[in-house]
């Protein structure tokens, strides 16, 4: 009993370093002229005693998760045919990682498996009788990187005097609505010694918001409206062509 009371009085051991963070903006509005944006993630390392060793920082921003299927196609008799597939239980619609140094120098595989920091770990794939599941995940990564949805910026975090840090995360124009989880990790010798998390809310506003809600809540009127707009655009183009034709 005495030992239990002593432990309760002492409490958990204090951490040598803790993260204090902030965002340049907690909301991003998607309008008709939206062509991307930058978010500045910044903060500091709070210490209550001298640091026992050098530190690194990793910043990860993840968009809403969604399921999808990655298929492998082969050309058979001149026709492309899907021969195998891997079901991805959840993949971020957007994922960006910025670090102070190369990931393989500051993050261990064990910590990456536990925290899902790299883009490959952020994707949760379930094999469907396919032995080389990793190849499908790598193909998805290459596709999303080429489209600008996934990015890794090694050296993208400025870390001044092992105290103040900042990272600029580029958000593409093809953002989807939802909460974008923003995680910051403080690392030493490949291990995470502290972490913090916040979120960025991405939302459509104006006409884009109205059209999005109409398509989700009233698909039939939305389809009719899209048909009328297409007919109007076609008629307008034909009238303009007829007006300039000699």
Q: Do 163 and 134 lie in a common domain?
A: yes
For residues 195 and 47, give the distance between their C-alpha atoms in angstroms, rounded to a whole number: 14
For residues 241 and 119, give the distance between their C-alpha atoms in angstroms, rounded to a whole number: 49
Tokens 């978010």 — which residue? 39
Mean pLDDT of the chain, nearest integer: 78
Residue 215 covered by a domain: yes
pLDDT higher than threshold 60 for residue 29: yes
Residue 2 covered by a domain: no
Q: Do 141 and 245 lie in a common domain?
A: no
What is the tally of structural domains in the chain?
Answer: 2
194-204 mean pLDDT? 86
Q: For the segment 45-99, what is each residue's pLDDT rounded down to a tens digit?
A: 988 777 788 999 999 999 999 888 777 666 666 665 555 667 778 899 999 999 9
| Res 181: pLDDT | 92
Domain that holds residue 233: 206-246
Higher pLDDT, 35 or 184: 184
Q: Do 82 and 138 lie in a common domain?
A: yes
Q: Do 160 and 45 lie in a common domain?
A: yes
Higher pLDDT, 23 or 6: 23
Q: Do 165 and 211 lie in a common domain?
A: no
What CATH number is associated with residue 130? 2.60.40.1930
Q: Do 87 and 180 lie in a common domain?
A: yes
Largest CA distance in the chain: 102
Q: Could you give the C-alpha distances from 138 to 70, 95, 132, 227, in angstroms and in order? A: 10, 14, 10, 39
Q: Render 157-195 in DSSP notation, one character per residue.
A: EEEETTTEEEEEEEEPTTPPSEEEEEEEEEEETTEEEEE
For residues 173 and 35, give the distance between their C-alpha atoms in angstroms, rounded to a whole number: 5
Q: Do 164 and 242 lie in a common domain?
A: no
In 3D, which of 180, 33, 156 has the Cα closest to residue 93? 180
185-190 mean pLDDT? 94
Q: Do 166 and 220 lie in a common domain?
A: no
Residue 158 covered by a domain: yes
169-197 mean pLDDT? 90
**Can you list the alpha helix ranges (DSSP code H) found in 54-194?**
103-106, 109-115, 119-122, 133-146
Q: Do 70 and 175 lie in a common domain?
A: yes
Q: For the segment 130-173, what is each residue's pLDDT rounded down to a tens digit?
A: 567 777 788 889 989 998 899 999 999 999 988 999 999 988 88
Could you give the count of Cα atoms lying within 13 Å of 129 in the half-sphere of its Cβ?
A: 5
Q: Do 194 and 210 lie in a common domain?
A: no
DSSP SS3 for 27? strand
Higher pLDDT, 95 or 239: 95
């Amino acid at each position: 009993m005495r030992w239990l009371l002593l432990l309760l009085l002492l409490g958990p051991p204090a951490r040598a370093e803790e993260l204090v963070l902030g965002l340049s903006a907690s909301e991003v509005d998607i309008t008709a002229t939206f062509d991307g944006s930058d978010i500045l993630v910044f903060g500091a390392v709070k210490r209550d005693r001298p640091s026992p060793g050098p530190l690194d920082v990793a910043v990860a921003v993840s968009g809403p998760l969604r399921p999808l299927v990655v298929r492998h196609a082969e050309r058979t008799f001149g026709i492309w045919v899907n021969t195998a597939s891997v079901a991805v239980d959840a993949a971020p619609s957007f994922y960006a990682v910025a670090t102070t140094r190369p990931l393989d120098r500051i993050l261990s595989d064990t910590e990456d498996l536990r925290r899902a920091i790299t883009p490959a770990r952020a994707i949760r794939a379930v094999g469907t009788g396919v032995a080389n599941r990793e190849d499908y995940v790598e193909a998805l990564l290459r596709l999303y990187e080429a489209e600008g949805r996934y990015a890794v910026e090694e050296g993208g975090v400025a870390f001044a005097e092992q105290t103040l840090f900042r990272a600029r995360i580029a958000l593409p124009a093809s953002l989807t609505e939802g909460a974008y989880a923003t995680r910051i990790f403080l690392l030493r010798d490949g291990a995470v010694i502290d972490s913090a998390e916040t979120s960025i809310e991405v939302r459509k506003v104006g006409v884009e918001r109205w059209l999005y809600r109409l398509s989700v809540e009233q698909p039939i009127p939305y389809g009719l409206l899209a048909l009328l707009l297409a007919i109007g655009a076609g008629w307008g183009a034909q009238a303009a062509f007829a007006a300039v034709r000699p």
